[in-house]
Chains A and B, each alone.
Chain A
């Protein structure tokens, strides 16, 4: 199970790294190269984003990656095939990240089945609060998949407890309000929020939104269990190409 994998891994590493890529961007072949480079340079788990035409919670960099992947014809079926391949070739856990319409149109139950079939461990669906997610939660439970919910700085302690009670594996804490890709200042202000997150759950905590370099990860070490690198690697691929990914990841820890 995802939680036990993470806890075991945390015995030997002070902080784990989760990376985020958009499938089919710049192409499926390059997505594969990126996964390979990331796994080889020590990433502990990965979020694979299935592109969606209306990625409401994403900032300009990931938004454009979604649009380009779709413009080049990325299909949900190709994303599932891609998942089959990477899950069988690499031993780290992979999660899907996407918006609810992708699951809804596919059929939530069939989608969960397809995830299990591929070996995907769980999903992050940012526009699906648990109150709207009855079918999703049932399908995830039925297929023993981890639904991962999100805490934000505006989430009350009471609601954090409620969200954590439905989450499996780990909780994704967004470092600040806003969308992906903007600056986050990693300062002591984060501490009181993270203390609240910690008080709400014994699940591992991941922190994302704005994590970009080794200094950020050093700051987060000891405060959270997983650092999430999202926009920064996509930006890197845009600027320096797929080949730059391995060194970047290796230099983070």
Chain B
């Protein structure tokens, strides 16, 4: 490896020896692709013909009026094929897999969005596909499992550890160290060993590039603040990329779960509960105990329910370039309900975290200011979780009737 991918003290590549050659190969393939101007062109063409790029920028007129402060714009990553920004990274890595000549892809998934995107890419490119998903997430994101299987992927429920995203990542690595000759691991976020953080944020930078052009075209000026939710950090890095060198305040919103005080959350950069450690192949802030054992995390949004965070974001926090906040499950459900009612937009539970913070701050800004929210994904995939959060009695009855019919 030429460069170990450090961002300040964070990042690196803490990988077992057996993967050394695989990472060399991956780093080289990525470097070559990056230096080949055709590669990015091919990527843009693919994303504009197979997905919906450029995704629109929506002016949220009713929410703006409701809060009576800054003008609220929403970047519509939910309109990607498969319903989230995850498609950007996945299709980009798919093109790289073709260049490397591998025939099988594996991935971890939390919310199931990354799994569905990977299974879709594999179907399109003709790759074999195995998806690792924590048992808890299989349960809360059942519709995505259904689609992954229809798309031809094998979905393996992970019963180890806390049975969520981090455990799925461990299992994907275990598969990879066994099958690296034929297989590429499509990591779903800007975490893990170098070059993944760099590579994933490179593909996601398309979000920020578009958003910057779009807002300048529409308003002739830049937003005051940009909000994005932070699981591993890929959608946040994607949109932040467009504004990194501008005087724009960048705000990452983590899962506050049942509240920071409760200890049941996934706030690595916005709570005092995390500390620097090394796990899953990289160095960053982890929610861990004094011995270095990873703790259980909690979020209503499976995609944010993760112990670590992108080393690039950890460095941006150190430099003071990005501010981090947390949104609780309860706030998230409220913001989601409001956005659906006022704008007819259905953000994913993950994305709704960014909306919470923007809604807190927009009223405090002037009507000349613009705030931009990254709607990383769509929420209709969360129908079971959202229906539960809303306690919708008609939905419950429908499910019970359906259950009766299956039993009959």
Residues of A within 8 A of B (CB): 52-57, 59-60, 63-64, 67, 70, 75-76, 99-102, 104-106, 126-129, 131-132, 149-156, 159, 163, 174, 177-179, 182
- Judge if B21 is at the interface, Cβ distance under 8 Å: yes
Contact B292 A101 (CB under 8 A): yes
Which single residue of chain B is at the shortest CB-CB distance from A180? Answer: B174
A56 near B18: Cβ-Cβ < 8 Å: no
A80 to chain B, nearest CB (A): 11
The answer to whether A179 and B1 have CB atoms under 8 Å apart is: no
What is the bound-complex CA distance between A165 and B128, given in angstroms? 40
Check A54 against B294 for contact (C-beta < 8 Å): yes
Q: Which candidate, B54-62, B272-280, B379-387, is the interface stretch facing chain A?
A: B272-280
Stretch from B8-16, B71-79, B109-117, B197-205 forming part of the interface with A: B8-16
Q: Which of B12, B21, B292 contacts A155 (CB 8 A)?
A: B21
Neighbouring B residues of A76 by C-beta, 8 Å = 291-292
A182 to B281, CA, bound (A): 22
CA distance A67 to B296 in the complex (A): 13
Interface status of B4 (Cβ within 8 A of chain A): yes
What 5 A-B pairs are tightest by C-beta distance, nearest first? A105-B292, A178-B178, A152-B18, A101-B292, A53-B293
Residues on B with C-beta less than 8 A from A102 are 291-292
Contact B174 A154 (CB under 8 A): no
B179 → A minimal CB distance (Å): 8
**What is the minimal beta-carbon distance from A57 to any residue of chain B, in angstroms?**
5
Residue from the list B13, B170, B174 in contact with A129, Cβ < 8 A: B13
B178 engages A177 (CB within 8 Å)? yes
> A178 CA to B286 CA in the complex, in Å?
26
Complex Cα spacing A61 to B216, Å: 57
CB-CB < 8 A to B280: which residues of A? 54, 56
Decide yes or no: A56 and B13 within 8 Å by CB, A101-B278, A105-B288, A156-B21 being known contacts: no
Main secondary structure of the interface of B (DSSP, over half): mixed
Q: Are B177's CB and A57's CB within 8 A?
A: yes
Interface size class of B (residues with CB under 8 A): 35 or more
By a CB distance below 8 angstroms, the chain A residues around B150 are none
> A131 near B170 (CB under 8 angstroms)?
no
| Between-chain CB contacts (< 8 Å), 6 pairs | A126-B16, A127-B15, A131-B4, A132-B12, A154-B180, A174-B17
- Is B185 interfacial (CB-CB < 8 Å)? no
Check: B173 CB closer than 8 A to any chain A CB.
yes
B292 near A106 with CB under 8 A, answer yes
Partner of B17, one of A60, A67, A106, A150: A150
B320 within 8 A of A: no
B343 at the interface (CB under 8 A from A): no
Whether A155 contacts B17 by the Cβ 8 Å rule is yes
Whole-angstrom distance from the CB of B68 to the nearest CB of chain A?
47
Q: In the bound complex, do residue B294 and residue A155 qualify as a contact, i.e. CB atoms below 8 Å apart?
A: no
| Residues A53 and B294 in contact in the complex (CB < 8 Å), given A129-B15, A155-B17 | yes
Contact of B20 among A105, A128, A129, A174 (CB under 8 A): A129
Bound CA–CA A199/B77 (angstroms): 54
Known contacts A54-B166, A177-B178; A129 and B17 CB within 8 A of each other: yes
* Chain B residues whose C-beta falls within 8 Å of the C-beta of A174 in the assembled complex: 17-18
The answer to the question of B160 belonging to the interface, with a C-beta cut-off of 8 Å to chain A, is: yes
Q: B290 on the interface (CB 8 Å rule)? A: yes
Check A152 against B17 for contact (C-beta < 8 Å). yes
In this complex, what residue of A is CB-closest to B277? A101
Q: Which of B17, B166, B278, B288 has most chain A Cβ within 10 Å?
A: B17
> What residues of B have a CB within 8 angstroms of the CB of A100 in the complex?
14, 278
Binary per-residue interface labels of chain B (261-297) against chain A in the complex, 1 for a CB within 8 Å, 0 otherwise: 0000000000000010111110000101011111000
Determine the distance from Cα of A76 to Cα of B288 in the docked complex, in whole angstroms. Answer: 14
Q: Which chain A residues lie closer than 8 Å to B161 at the CB level? A: 53-54, 67
B22 within 8 Å of A (CB atoms): yes
Q: Complex: how many Å from CA A129 to CA B278?
A: 13
A105 and B290 contact, CB distance less than 8 A: yes
Among residues 211 to 270 in chain B, which have CB atoms less than 8 Å away from a CB atom of chain A?
Answer: none
B14 contact set on A, CB distance < 8 A:
100, 127-129, 132
Note all chain B residues with C-beta closer than 8 A to A59.
Answer: 174
- B160 CB, nearest partner CB in chain A, Å: 6
Give chain A residues whose Cβ lies under 8 Å from the Cβ of B15: 127, 129
Q: Point out which of B4, B14, B275, B290 has the most chain A C-beta atoms below 10 A from its C-beta.
A: B14
